[in-house]
Amino acid sequence: MQKAFSFNFEGQDHDAVVIGKDISVSPIFVLIHGGGAGSKERIYTFSDLLEERGINMLAFDQSGAGKDKDNIKRSSLERRTNESNYAIKNFASKEPLVVCGSSMGGEIALRTLAFFDVKSLVLFCPAIYSEKAFPIKFGEGFTEIIREPDSWKTSAALGLLEKFEGKLLIIIGAFDTVIPSDVIDALDKHSPNVSKKEIHRIPGCPHRYQEWLAEHPNELQKVCEKVADYSL
């Protein structure tokens, strides 16, 4: 079952959806989509299996996505983080959460550790960013900052991850040329206290994993099973 709705954050409307067997139950699984072509529709990559397992999900469009995609340059990591915190606080379960971040959403998912009780982090091709870039609008110098060599090493997300004691699943395409391998290594190094961890590399898969997985159902099934396992 699905329930589509919208919410207003600081004067801007955001489309959202809750998916589950019983949508009256607050979702414990929250998707934070990425930049570019990212949107709440990314939840459908693995929602069928999660729904079968009795896991309720929340997904929402951030500023610069969905109907607001033409305004991407006005958004920022800081604004998207605040939007995500608002959505989680108001529409997700108060029980320990599963937070799933995709690409740019990886940074934001990691930052939720400072505000919510998170039992599992599921990170798809996760990006992390320079602390200097965090408040900068995407159209006002963000790209130039993140292109500075190794700028991601100053991300506050790494310090938050070091304290995390829940479960961590990182899924990355073996042919991902967007996320530096050093980022994945850093996430591995900065997660010494997690109770369970896996870094799953999808053979032959590029950064845009959703489209690739749709064409490779066997690999899609493997990924969905791992996501479900870390969500229970």
Per-residue pLDDT of the chain (232 residues; tens, 9 = 90+): 999 999 999 999 999 999 999 999 999 999 999 987 689 999 999 899 999 999 999 999 999 888 888 888 899 999 999 999 999 999 999 999 999 999 999 999 999 999 999 999 999 999 999 999 999 999 999 999 999 999 999 999 999 999 999 999 999 999 999 999 999 999 999 999 999 999 999 999 999 999 999 999 999 999 999 999 999 9
Please report, in angstroms and rounded to a whole number, the separation of the first and last CA atoms in the chain: 19
- Supply 33's token pair: 């989509």
pLDDT of residue 64: 87
Burial class (CB in 10 A: 0-12, 13-18, 19+), 82: middle
Q: Which residue has the tokens 């979702």?
A: 27
Characterize the bridge pairing of strands 2-9 and 29-32.
unpaired
User: How far is C-alpha 78 from the chain's CA centre?
Assistant: 15
Q: Specify whether the backbone of 139 is left (phi greater than 0), alpha (psi in -120 to 50) or beta.
A: alpha
pLDDT of residue 36: 74
Domains of the chain in sequence order: 2-231 (3.40.50.1820)
Cα 95 from Cα 231, distance rounded (Å): 13
